[in-house]
Amino acid sequence: MKNVAAKSANRTAVNSIGDALEALPSGSTSRDVLDALSHMIEANGLTVGDRLPPEIEIARRLGIGRAKVREALTAWQNMGLVVRNKKAGTRLAAEMSSNAIHLPLTLKLEAESLLRTHAVRRPLEIESARLASRNRTDRDCRIIAARVAELMASFEAGEDWRPADHRFHGAIQEASGNPLFNQLIQQIQAAFNEIYEAPFGQPHLGENTIPLHPELAEAIVAGDEGGATRVMSRIMDMVEAEIRKVIGTADV
Amino acid sequence: MKNVAAKSANRTAVNSIGDALEALPSGSTSRDVLDALSHMIEANGLTVGDRLPPEIEIARRLGIGRAKVREALTAWQNMGLVVRNKKAGTRLAAEMSSNAIHLPLTLKLEAESLLRTHAVRRPLEIESARLASRNRTDRDCRIIAARVAELMASFEAGEDWRPADHRFHGAIQEASGNPLFNQLIQQIQAAFNEIYEAPFGQPHLGENTIPLHPELAEAIVAGDEGGATRVMSRIMDMVEAEIRKVIGTADV
DNA sequence: ATCAAGTATAATGTCAGACATTAATTTAGA
DNA sequence: TCTAAATTAATGTCTGACATTATACTTGAT
């Protein structure tokens, strides 16, 4: 019975893709293929568990080779967005894996994932600040001082201070002596931005925390482990509060 | 001049892959291809910026088709681990890309130190314990209780308790309500094991910490945020101490 | 008529070969 | 010596074929 419903749903989907899948211009990238598919999925209201058209059909409609379609679908598969099955074809995956963030498809689902992403970033930032205040070299101190000055100047000039903020935190992670912190946080932050920038435009998230940054820099330079931990925690808490305010939810 | 050095490095790499790339058994998956390549990369000491052999060469050596090699490399490319270039071939990427949190190779390339890996795991474990003691459901409590019982039984029976330990920590991360913790820690731990098991054989790392685990479980079930944080911190500190003892180094 | 077993089929998975494209390298020329 | 054109070695793409397999269908027995 469930099969019957699924089957008819599939048929409508497959029959009506002509409306939404048009030939791509030449030189189109794998990303374009995914965008076209996203569009088709949305236009047809396909949901989790539904089948996509066969690869060969997609290729024909888009006017590209099957290899290109496969490459694109493989990307989604690796992100956990679709599962492929010999006879059953390619279906939208039962669950969106969290490190798979392809915007057109997942935007609606990802609001609270901003908080989740931040929740992971939080302890890493705090720990990196603690280690930085412990392991910093003279050179690190000079860089941190320069970066925080740069940040405050940018902030007070009313410019877009986020690149400077990014560099400042990068300097702290650098000073921690463990490159993994920088790597991980950078990736997490990139994922965050990918979710965030699109739906809400140009944000000023974290603006209230900027005045705290000189204090953070001082604590690290002074080697004050507890102070660095405390200030960074406060910064992270304030960022979290702002996220909640923006997306208007309360639960993690 | 830099070109010359790079070129000669490439040549040695390409010439010596015969040592490290052996034919795969049939039915091998794309993951196997990547594992074989990882192995080759490590065996030849390739680092960021170095070239991989041409796809067709890899395919020949592994006894598979070029399509399969391409699919595997595409996965890495999508994760930002490699960049491909028409004539220049495929190179290990200079920077890890954003939406991909694929740690195993990253860590292998970047972290020669177990301590660094552990240093990243530490704050994540502590935070997940804290969140678990805050967000746990009744169901989580039951699972945690069952897992810790299982762990202690396995430990006292003198068996290999590590799978049970793994499941216990997994239950805590589950209880935190944020699946990202589980994902990240699991990957970090996988990377750790990949580095660790090989050189030191069958370890009993963390054995001294097992008796602390019931206490940790109790704190979480009781909702004692401070207690959970404290115990998990102690566990992590002890693991770190044991790592230091094993590898006999002092520096992070 | 219902259920089980076997068969057919339609989709993905893989391979091979060819050609297109591009960027590094080499060569020719000013 | 420097610049520009030709070469070339790699990835990128297309096509067609075959392998594999999970589903869908058919057949047979109870």
Q: What is the DSSP string of B53-83?
A: PPHHHHHHHHTS-HHHHHHHHHHHHHTTSEE
Which bases on strand C have an atom closer than 7 Å to a protein beta carbon? 9-17, 21-25
Nearest to A193 by CA among A76, A75, A101, A129: A101
β-strand pairing of B82-85 with A89-92? unpaired
**B164 burial via Cβ count (<10 Å: 0-12, 13-18, 19+):** buried
Query: Looking at residue B242, what is its pLDDT?
Result: 79
CATH (domain of A186): 1.20.120.530
**Is A110 found in the same domain as A234?**
yes
**Is A221 found in the same domain as A114?**
yes
Residue B101 lies in a domain: no
Q: Which of A73, A92, A111 is the endpoint of a domain?
A: A92
Query: Looking at residue B132, what is its pLDDT?
Result: 95
Count of structural domains, chain A: 2
**Is A118 found in the same domain as A85?**
no
Q: Which residue gives the smallest C-alpha to C1' distance to D15?
A: A65
**Is B78 found in the same domain as B151?**
no
**Is A131 found in the same domain as A189?**
yes
**A8 burial via Cβ count (<10 Å: 0-12, 13-18, 19+):** exposed
Residue B120 lies in a domain: yes
How far apart CA A39 and CA A62 sit, in angstroms, is 13
Q: Look up the domain containing A128 and give its range.
A: 103-247
The gap between B2 CA and D2 C1' (Å) is 21
The gap between A121 CA and D7 C1' (Å) is 51
**Is B138 found in the same domain as B83?**
no
Query: Looking at residue B172, what is its pLDDT?
Result: 94
Residue of B nearest to A112 (CA): B178
Instruction: Give the protein-side footprint of strand D (Cβ within 7 Å).
Output: A 3, 7, 29-30, 59, 64-68, 71, 85-88; B 27, 52, 54-56, 66, 70, 84-87, 89-90
Is residue B180 less than 8 Å (CB to CB) from chain A? yes
Residues of chain A with pLDDT under 50: 1-18, 94-111, 198-202, 249-252
Paired tokens of A75: 């990307």
Distance from CA of A8 to the nearest CA of B (A): 33
Is residue A98 less than 8 Å (CB to CB) from chain B? yes
Q: Report, as an integer, the average pLDDT of B201-215.
A: 76
| From A95-104, B30-39, B80-89, B225-234, the region with the lowest mean pLDDT | A95-104
| Cα-based torsion angle of the residue sequence B59, B63, B67, B71 in order, rounded to the nearest 10 degrees | -80
**Is A168 found in the same domain as A135?**
yes
Share of chain B above pLDDT 70, in %: 71
Nucleotide nearest to A52 (CA to C1'): C11
- Does B98 have pLDDT greater than 90? no
Residue B99 lies in a domain: no
Helix (H) or strand (E) holding B89: strand B89-92
Q: Name the more confident of B15 and A82.
A: A82
DSSP state of A51: B
Query: Looking at residue B160, what is its pLDDT?
Result: 76
Contact indicator for B171, B147 with CB cutoff of 8 Å: yes
Q: Which of A23, A58, A92 is the endpoint of a domain?
A: A92
Query: Looking at residue B191, what is its pLDDT?
Result: 57
Cβ of A65: how many Cβ atoms within 10 Å? Answer: 11
Tracing tokens 């660790």 back to the chain, one arrives at B196
Query: Looking at residue A180, what is its pLDDT?
Result: 76
Distance from CA of B126 to the nearest CA of A (A): 8
Contact indicator for B74, B90 with CB cutoff of 8 Å: no
Contact indicator for B51, B58 with CB cutoff of 8 Å: no
How far apart CA A38 and CA A126 sit, in angstroms, is 38
Q: Which of A43, A70, A92 is the endpoint of a domain?
A: A92
| Local confidence band at B250 (pLDDT 50, 70, 90 cut-offs) | very low
**Is A135 found in the same domain as A36?**
no
- Does B1 have pLDDT greater than 60? no
Residue B78 lies in a domain: yes
For residue B35, give Cα distances in angstroms to A132, B28, B159: 35, 11, 29
How far apart CA B244 and CA B252 sit, in angstroms, is 10
CATH (domain of A63): 1.10.10.10
Tracing tokens 């239950």 back to the chain, one arrives at B171
B187-208 exposure pattern, b = at least 16 Cβ within 10 A, e = fewer: bbbebbbbbbeeeeeeeebbee
Which backbone phi and psi does B83 adopt, to 5 degrees?
-120, 145
Query: Looking at residue A80, what is its pLDDT?
Result: 61
Helix (H, G, I), strand (E, B) or coil at B1: coil
| From A27-31, A171-175, B138-142, B196-200, the region with the lowest mean pLDDT | B196-200
Q: Name the more confident of A81 and B7.
A: A81
**Is A181 found in the same domain as A72?**
no
Query: Looking at residue A107, what is its pLDDT?
Result: 33
Paired tokens of A119: 């929740």
ipTM surpassing 0.85: no
Instruction: Kindly determine whether the C-beta of residue A91 is less than 7 Å away from any atom of nucleic acid strand C.
Output: no
How far apart CA A231 and CA A126 sit, in angstroms, is 9
| Local confidence band at B124 (pLDDT 50, 70, 90 cut-offs) | very high
Is residue B126 less than 8 Å (CB to CB) from chain A? yes
Query: Looking at residue A218, what is its pLDDT?
Result: 96
**Is A152 found in the same domain as A224?**
yes
Radius of gyration of chain B (CA): 21
Residue B102 lies in a domain: no
Residue A228 lies in a domain: yes
Q: What is the DSSP string of A110-177?
A: GHHHHHHHHHHHHHHHHHHHHHHHHH--HHHHHHHHHHHHHHHHHHHTTS--HHHHHHHHHHHHHHTT
The amino acid occupying position B234 is: R
Of B71, B177, B184, the CB nearest to A74: B71
CB contact under 8 A, A98 and B177: no
Instruction: Kindly determine whether the C-beta of residue A89 is less than 7 Å away from any atom of nucleic acid strand C.
Output: yes
The gap between A205 CA and D14 C1' (Å) is 47
Residue A97 lies in a domain: no
Paired tokens of A43: 């236009």
Residue A56 lies in a domain: yes
How far apart CA A34 and CA A68 sit, in angstroms, is 11
Nearest to A125 by CA among A183, A167, A181: A181
**Is A123 found in the same domain as A64?**
no
| From B17-21, B75-79, B146-150, B171-175, the region with the lowest mean pLDDT | B17-21
**Is A218 found in the same domain as A107?**
yes
How far apart CA A121 and CA A189 sit, in angstroms, is 8
Paired tokens of B19: 């040592």
CB contact under 8 A, A124 and B124: yes
| Local confidence band at B146 (pLDDT 50, 70, 90 cut-offs) | very high
